[in-house]
Structure 1
Amino acid sequence: MWALALGGFGIGTTEFVAMGLLPEIAASVGVSEPTAGHVVSAYAAGVVVGAPLIATIAARVPRRTLLVALMVAFTLGNAATVLAPNYGLLVASRFVAGLPHGAYFGVAALVAAHLAGPGRRAQAVALVMTGLSVANVVGVPAASWLGMALGWRSAFVLVAVIGAATVAALAAWVPSLSIPTTSVRIELGALKSARVWLTLATAVIGFGGVFAVYTYISTTLTDVAGVPKSLVPVALMLFGLGMVAGNMVGGRLADRAVVPAVFATVTALAVLLAVFVAAAHNPYTAFLLVFGLGMGCAAVGPALQVRLMDVAEDAQTLAASLHHAAFNLANAFGAWIGGVVIAAGLGYTAPAAVGVVLALAGVAVFAVSIRGRDWIRS
Structure 2
Amino acid sequence: MGLSSAQSHSHTKVVLSLLVLALGTFMLGLTEFSMMPMLPLVAQSFDVATGRAGEAISAYALGVVVGAPLLMILTTKLKRRTALVLYAFLIFLFNGLSAYSQSFSQLILFRFLSGIPHGAYFGTALLFGAKLAPEGRNTLFMSRVFFGLTIATIIGVPVATLIAQLLSWRLCLIVVALIAFICCGLLRQVLPDIQVSQGSLRQELAVLKDPLIWPIVGIVVVGFGGVFCIYTYLANTILNVTHISGYFISIAMVLFGIGSTAGNWLLGKPHDRFAERVTGGALVYSVLVALAYVKAAQYPILLFAVVFLLGACLGLTTVIQSMLMQVAKGGHEVIGALLQCAFNTANAIGPIVGSVVFSYHHPANQTGYIAALLFAGGLLMWWLSGIQRRHYAYK
Q: Same fold (TM over 0.5)?
A: yes
In the alignment, does 2:206 pair up with 1:156? no
Hey, what's the Cα distance between the residues in 1 that align with 2:271 and 2:49?
41
Q: Note the C-alpha offset of 1:142.
A: 1.1
What letter matches 1:347 in structure 2?
P
Q: Note the C-alpha offset of 1:226.
A: 1.9
Give deviations 1:99-151, integer Å, cap 9, x for gaps: 11111111111111111132110011110010000001111111111111112
Return the match for 1:184 from 196, 201, 210. Answer: 201
Residue in structure 1 matched with residue 112 of structure 2 by the alignment: 95
Give deviations 1:279-309, integer Å, cap 9, x for gaps: 111111111111111012x221111111122
In the alignment, does 2:374 pair up with 1:358? yes
Runs of 4+, deviation exceeding 6 Å: none
In the alignment, does 2:22 pair up with 1:22? no
Hey, what's the Cα distance between the residues in 1 that align with 2:188 and 2:110?
25
Verify the 8 A CA contact 1:250 1:300 in the aligned structure 2: yes
Residue in structure 2 matched with residue 333 of structure 1 by the alignment: 349
Q: Note the C-alpha offset of 1:254.
A: 5.5
SS at match of 2:197: coil
Verify the 8 A CA contact 1:201 1:362 in the aligned structure 2: yes
Change (3 A) 1:139 1:275: same
Hey, what's the Cα distance between the residues in 2 that align with 1:344 and 1:89?
31
Counterparts of 1:1-378 in structure 2, within 5 Å, are: 1-253=18-270, 255-296=272-313, 298-370=314-386, 371=388, 373=390
User: Bigger CA drift: 167-176 or 52-61?
Assistant: 52-61
What letter matches 1:166 in structure 2?
C
Hey, what's the Cα distance between the residues in 2 that align with 1:217 and 1:253?
31
SS at match of 1:181: coil
SS at match of 2:198: coil
What letter matches 2:189 in structure 1?
A
Hey, what's the Cα distance between the residues in 1 that align with 2:28 and 2:22?
10
User: Bigger CA drift: 337-346 or 348-357?
Assistant: 337-346
Change (3 A) 1:181 1:276: same
Q: Note the C-alpha offset of 1:61.
A: 2.1
Hey, what's the Cα distance between the residues in 1 that align with 2:77 and 2:260?
33
Change (3 A) 1:17 1:335: same
Hey, what's the Cα distance between the residues in 2 that align with 1:323 and 1:56?
17
Structure of larger gyration radius: 2
Hey, what's the Cα distance between the residues in 2 that align with 1:187 and 1:161?
33
Give the TM-score taking structure 2 as reference length: 0.92
What letter matches 1:180 in structure 2?
S
| Count of residues in Structure 1 that have an aligned counterpart in Structure 2 | 376
Residue in structure 1 matched with residue 10 of structure 2 by the alignment: none
Hey, what's the Cα distance between the residues in 1 that align with 2:279 and 2:73?
27
Verify the 8 A CA contact 1:251 1:303 in the aligned structure 2: yes
Verify the 8 A CA contact 2:205 2:331 in the aligned structure 1: yes
SS at match of 1:349: helix
Hey, what's the Cα distance between the residues in 2 that align with 1:294 and 1:323?
19
Give the TM-score taking structure 1 as reference length: 0.96
Give deviations 1:308-364, integer Å, cap 9, x for gaps: 222221111111111111111100111211223223312202221101011111111
User: Bigger CA drift: 182-191 or 105-114?
Assistant: 182-191
Q: Note the C-alpha offset of 1:69.
A: 0.4
Verify the 8 A CA contact 2:197 2:333 in the aligned structure 1: no
Verify the 8 A CA contact 1:19 1:217 in the aligned structure 2: no
Verify the 8 A CA contact 1:42 1:91 in the aligned structure 2: yes
Q: Note the C-alpha offset of 1:79.
A: 0.8
